[in-house]
Structure 1
Amino acid sequence: MISRKMTVADLRALKGKRQLVMLRVETAEDAAAAEQAGIDMISVPPSLLTHPDFRDAAPSLFCVASLSYGMYATAKEYLRAAFEARRAGADAVYCAASLRIVRRLAEERIPVCGHVGMIPSQITWTGGFKAVGKTVESAMEIWRNVTELEMAGAVMAEIEVVPESVAAEICSRTSLILMSMGAGAGCDGQYMFAVDILGSHKGHYPRHSKTYRNFAAEYDRLQSERIGAFRDFADDVARGTYPAPGHVVPLDGEILAEFVRKLSESNGNSR
Structure 2
Amino acid sequence: MRAVTINTLQAHKAAGDKFAVITSYDACFANVVEEAGIEVILVGDSLGMVLQGHDSTLPVSVSDMAYHTACVRRGCSKPLVVTDMPFGSYSSTDVAIANAVTLMQAGAQMIKVEGGAWLLDTILALTERSIPVCGHLGLTPQSVNSLGGYKVQGREPKQAQAIIDDAKQLEQAGASLLVLECVPADLAKKISQALSIPVIGIGAGADTDAQVLVLHDLLGLSSHTPKFVRNFMNGSDSIQQALSSYRDAVKSGEFPSAEHTFAG
Shared fold (TM-score, shorter chain, > 0.5): yes
Q: CA deviation at 1:61?
A: 0.6
* Residue pair 1:69, 1:95 contacting (<8 A) in 2 also: no
CA distance in 2: counterparts of 1:110 and 1:201, whole angstroms? 33
SS where residue 15 of structure 1 aligns? helix
SS of equivalent to 2:227: coil
Q: CA-atom RMSD, angstroms?
A: 1.8
Equivalence for 1:205: 225
Q: Could you say what secondary structure the match of 2:34 adopts?
A: helix
Q: Which residue of 2 aligns with 1:123?
A: 144
CA drift of 1:136 comes to 1.4
Aligned equivalent of 1:82, options 96, 100, 113: 100
Partner of 1:166: 187
> How many pairs are equivalent?
209
Q: 1:66 is matched with which residue: 84, 87, 93?
A: 84
Segments of structure 1 that go 5 or more residues without pairing to the other structure are 215-271
- 1:79 match: secondary structure: helix
Taking the aligned partners of 2:66 and 2:165, their CA distance within structure 1 comes to 29
Equivalent in 3, 6, 25 of residue 5 of structure 1: 3
Aligned-residue offset at 1:36: 0.6
**1:181 maps to amino acid:** I
How far 1:151 sits from its partner (Å)? 1.6
Taking only the aligned residue pairs, the percentage that are identical comes to: 29
Q: Deviation per CA, 1:207-257: give whole Å up to 9, x if none.
A: 11112238xxxxxxxxxxxxxxxxxxxxxxxxxxxxxxxxxxxxxxxxxxx
CA separation in 2, counterparts of 1:212 and 1:80?
38
The Cα of 1:95 is off from its aligned counterpart by 1.4
Aligned mates of 2:177, 2:220 — CA distance in 1 = 28
Residue 56 of structure 1: how far off its partner (Å): 4.3
Q: Who is 2:13 aligned against?
A: 15
Residue identity opposite 1:205 in structure 2: T
Change (3 A) 1:146 1:72: closer
Alignment of 1:80-229 (within 5 A): 80-96=98-114, 98-202=119-223, 204-213=224-233
Q: Which stretch of the first structure deviates more once superposed, 121-130 or 131-140?
A: 121-130
- Residue 49 of structure 1 pairs with residue 69 of structure 2: yes
The answer (yes or no) to whether the contact 1:46–1:66 under 8 Å persists in 2 is no
- Residues 100-146 of structure 1: CA distance to partner in whole angstroms, max 9, x if unpaired? 22221122121101111111112344442111111211210110110
Q: Report the Cα distance in structure 2 between the residues aligned to 1:77 and 1:136, rounded to whole angstroms.
A: 34
CA positional deviation for 1:171? 0.6
**Counterpart Cα distance in 2 of 1:28 and 1:169:** 37
Matches of 2:90 and 2:3, distance apart in 1: 29
1:127/1:144 CA distance change after superposition, 3 Å? farther
Bigger Rg, structure 1 or 2: 1
What does residue 222 of structure 1 align with?
A: none
Are 2:30 and 1:31 aligned? yes
Task: Report the residue type matching 1:201 in the other structure.
Answer: S
Letter in 2 for 1:14: H
